[in-house]
């Protein structure tokens, strides 16, 4: 049998108070660092490892930990903010004191605590490293904070929320976003090695402490999770405080002498194997999966290509409602003021009518393009955002409103269960809206109608079968390399009928799309006739050289 790991270095003495603090810290950080949900382990076993989505490994990397109380876990639970930390600390304190009482009957040597401290640091190192790498890759290949769409660029600055402004301020400088991703991935990678742990912890502490403050300053909402990485990196840095103090404050010659066990036989092979597996999964495989997502299926942006001849900004030169011409007026709550067809399957148009505030900020992990809502812009200032499915044979667009409001049940599900890190909340709604759409009847009888689609799960057949056959299923419309089991299942799960505003418009593109005529029925079942003239708008922002998605 190989010998138990021992240290060839000196073992510092532990005082009784240090032992008590260590016991409490051991229970606390183990509880905070290891997944304690059976669903997490079950999900790993159910992965289709031959057809992985980036979100599979991403969710493994960002699992929530901490003490589970009556089914409430640290993240994504009804226990808000830092309350689970306090509960876990109380539990750890009680457990640590019980451990102390038991230890009085057994004289543990200092080496026992040094060895436990070593393994505790290993657990925390790998937890912090894996977790931050998962987020770092979404910035290294900028998908978390996308370059603004044309519809967002056309939105007035005053119509944006603080968190949206922060996200856009990073998104407009994608190479800076890449830099922040490099810092996070590098910090995580350095934590995988004992000799570089100090530098990894320093990078992680500095980067995430800034993100914590950004979340408070910009009302981001994920200060708890960013604080989690600050906590882990701070714990790792405590190990070096004495030597740093001697070197920098007392200006004394310092020679670090840290405990490290000696591994022999199968222990050494097992250690190397686990480290190699971790690096292979979270630095190599996750990098590739994230690149595929960035290139073909960016999770914040719709993945399907829009109709090429319709793309661009348009002036609304003529607008008719039920056959009546409505002249341009910036105060009109019905007439479109401008319109934009994105590179993907989105039509944006502006009216002088506020809409309900959607605070999701594009968060979560939706697979369907209609549920990718980063294009929604604060209170929108009347900016309407519609997802469309196109029948190119009969030149018909079937459009659905992407904005369902922060108080909508489906949005609350996304907001509560699917958060991301990066300075602001990917679902920072506080369960209330700070702006509401007009719900009363206006002078043209534009009331809020009951949508034809119900929540019963029964198909409403609002798109004719002939058109559906031409449109085809959504899943295969991306590059085959980006298809995955998770995407297929997700699209199927999100495909249930839901209440949305809808329009059915036929389109005629003239002069290569420089002039577009839309005619049909809007969301209030009024007939509309819209003439759009494309114009070239020069923005002060230079065109991004690092945009996500492939829409050629």
| Residue 45 predicted with pLDDT over 60 | yes
| Residue 434 predicted with pLDDT over 60 | no
Residues 361 and 290 placed together within one structural domain of the fold:
no
Domain boundary among 297, 317, 349: 297
| Residue 38 predicted with pLDDT over 90 | no
| Residue 420 predicted with pLDDT over 60 | no
pLDDT attached to residue 378: 65
For residues 90 and 543, the model is more confident at 90
In whole angstroms, give the CA distance from residue 439 to residue 434.
15
Average pLDDT estimate for 110-120: 86
Average pLDDT estimate for 125-138: 93
Confidence band for 64, pLDDT divided at 50, 70 and 90: low
Is 480 a domain residue?
yes
Residues 352 and 256 placed together within one structural domain of the fold:
no
pLDDT attached to residue 252: 86
Domain count, the chain: 2
CA angle (136, 370, 347) in 5-degree steps: 105
pLDDT attached to residue 474: 94
pLDDT attached to residue 54: 92
Residues 80 and 150 placed together within one structural domain of the fold:
yes
Residue 372: CATH number of its domain? 2.40.128
Domain boundary among 245, 262, 297: 297
Is 128 a domain residue?
yes
Nearest to 359 by CA among 400, 414, 399, 401: 414
Is 38 a domain residue?
yes
pLDDT attached to residue 400: 95
HEC sequence for 168-214: HHHHCCHHHHHHHHHHHHHHHHHCCCHHHHHHHHHHHHHHHHHHHHH
Nearest to 297 by CA among 309, 289, 285: 289
Confidence band for 71, pLDDT divided at 50, 70 and 90: very low
Neighbours of 232 (CB within 10 A): 26
Q: Are 74 and 64 in contact (CB under 8 A)?
A: yes
Is 549 a domain residue?
no
Nearest to 314 by CA among 280, 274, 282, 348: 348
Residues 174 and 289 placed together within one structural domain of the fold:
yes
Q: Are 369 and 474 in contact (CB under 8 A)?
A: yes
Residues 172 and 262 placed together within one structural domain of the fold:
yes
For the stretch 470-499, pLDDT in tens is 999 999 999 999 999 999 999 999 988 788
Nearest to 32 by CA among 2, 61, 71, 74: 74
Confidence band for 104, pLDDT divided at 50, 70 and 90: confident
| Residue 138 predicted with pLDDT over 60 | yes
- 212's CB contacts (< 8 A; 6+ apart) are 223, 226, 227, 230
Residues 282 and 332 placed together within one structural domain of the fold:
no
What is the residue whose two structure tokens read 């009969």? 394
512 burial type by CB count under 10 A (0-12 exposed, 13-18 middle, 19+ buried): exposed
Confidence band for 84, pLDDT divided at 50, 70 and 90: confident
In whole angstroms, give the CA distance from residue 360 to residue 385.
14
Residues 82 and 157 placed together within one structural domain of the fold:
yes
| DSSP label at residue 159 | G
Q: Which residues pair with 6 in a beta bridge?
A: 262
Q: Are 368 and 500 in contact (CB under 8 A)?
A: no
Residues 73 and 132 placed together within one structural domain of the fold:
yes
Nearest to 300 by CA among 426, 475, 174, 215: 426
Average pLDDT estimate for 511-523: 95
To the nearest whole number, what is the mean pLDDT of the chain? Answer: 83
For the stretch 170-180, pLDDT in tens is 999 999 999 99
pLDDT attached to residue 78: 39
Residues 280 and 376 placed together within one structural domain of the fold:
no
Average pLDDT estimate for 442-454: 39
Q: Are 116 and 18 in contact (CB under 8 A)?
A: no
Is 457 a domain residue?
no
Neighbours of 266 (CB within 10 A): 11
For residues 213 and 414, the model is more confident at 213
Nearest to 125 by CA among 64, 196, 59, 65: 196
Q: Are 420 and 220 in contact (CB under 8 A)?
A: no
Is 432 a domain residue?
no
Confidence band for 439, pLDDT divided at 50, 70 and 90: very low
What is the residue whose two structure tokens read 């839901």? 498
pLDDT attached to residue 463: 93
Quick one: which H or E segment has residue 261? strand 261-262
Residues 211 and 136 placed together within one structural domain of the fold:
yes
In whole angstroms, give the CA distance from residue 52 to residue 48.
6
Domain boundary among 297, 330, 356: 297
Average pLDDT estimate for 118-146: 93
In whole angstroms, give the CA distance from residue 127 to residue 186.
15
- What is the domain extent for residue 398? 308-420+463-534
pLDDT attached to residue 458: 55
For the stretch 317-331, pLDDT in tens is 999 999 999 999 988
């Amino acid at each position: 049998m190989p010998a138990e790991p021992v240290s060839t270095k000196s073992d510092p003495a532990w005082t009784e108070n240090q032992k008590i603090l260590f016991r409490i810290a051991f229970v606390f950080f183990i509880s905070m660092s290891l997944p304690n949900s059976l669903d997490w382990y079950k999900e790993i076993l159910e992965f289709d490892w031959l057809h992985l989505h980036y979100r599979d490994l991403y969710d493994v990397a960002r699992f929530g930990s901490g003490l589970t109380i009556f089914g409430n876990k640290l993240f994504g639970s009804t226990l808000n903010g830092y309350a689970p930390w306090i509960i876990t600390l109380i539990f750890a304190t009680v457990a640590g004191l019980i451990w102390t009482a038991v230890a009085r009957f057994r004289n543990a040597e200092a080496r026992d605590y040094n060895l436990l401290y070593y393994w505790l640091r290993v657990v925390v190192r790998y937890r912090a490293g894996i977790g931050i790498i998962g987020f770092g890759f979404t910035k290294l290949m900028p998908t978390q904070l996308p370059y603004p769409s044309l519809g967002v660029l056309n939105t007035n600055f005053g119509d944006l929320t603080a968190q949206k402004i922060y996200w856009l301020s990073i998104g407009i400088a994608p190479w800076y976003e890449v830099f922040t991703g490099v810092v996070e991935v590098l910090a995580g990678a350095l934590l995988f090695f004992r000799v570089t742990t100090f530098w990894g912890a320093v990078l992680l502490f500095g980067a995430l402490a800034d993100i914590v403050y950004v979340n408070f300053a910009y009302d981001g909402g994920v200060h708890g999770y960013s604080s989690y990485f600050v906590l882990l990196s701070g714990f790792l840095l405590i190990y070096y405080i004495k030597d740093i103090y001697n070197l920098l404050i007392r200006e004394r010659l310092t020679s670090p002498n840290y405990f490290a066990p000696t591994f022999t036989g199968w222990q050494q092979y097992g250690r190397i194997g686990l480290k190699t597996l971790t690096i292979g999964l979270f630095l190599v495989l996750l990098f590739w999966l994230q690149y595929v997502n960035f290139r073909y299926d960016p999770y914040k942006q719709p993945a399907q290509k829009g109709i090429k001849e319709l793309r661009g900004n348009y002036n609304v030169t003529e607008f008719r409602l039920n056959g009546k011409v409505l002249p341009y007026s910036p105060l009109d709550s019905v007439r479109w003021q401008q319109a934009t067809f994105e590179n993907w399957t989105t039509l944006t148009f502006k009216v002088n009518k506020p809409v309900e505030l959607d605070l999701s900020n594009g968060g979560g992990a939706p697979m369907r393009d209609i549920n990718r809502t980063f294009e929604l812009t604060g209170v929108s200032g009347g900016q309407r955002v519609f997802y469309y499915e196109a029948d190119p044979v009969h030149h018909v667009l079937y459009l659905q409103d992407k904005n369902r409001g922060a108080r909508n049940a489906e949005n609350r599900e996304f907001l509560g269960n699917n958060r991301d890190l990066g300075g602001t909340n990917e679902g920072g709604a506080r369960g209330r809206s700070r702006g509401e759409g007009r719900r009363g009847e206006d002078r043209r009888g534009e009331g809020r109608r009951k949508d034809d689609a119900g929540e019963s799960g029964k198909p409403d057949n609002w798109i004719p079968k002939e058109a559906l056959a031409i449109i085809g299923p959504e899943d295969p419309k991306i590059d085959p390399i980006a298809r995955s089991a998770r995407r297929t299942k997700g699209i199927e799960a999100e495909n249930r009928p839901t209440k949305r505003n809808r329009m059915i418009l036929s389109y005629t593109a003239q002069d290569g799309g420089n002039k577009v005529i839309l005619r049909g029925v809007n969301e209030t079942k009024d007939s509309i006739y819209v003439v759009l003239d494309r114009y070239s708008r020069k923005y002060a922002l230079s065109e991004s050289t690092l945009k996500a998605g492939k829409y050629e």
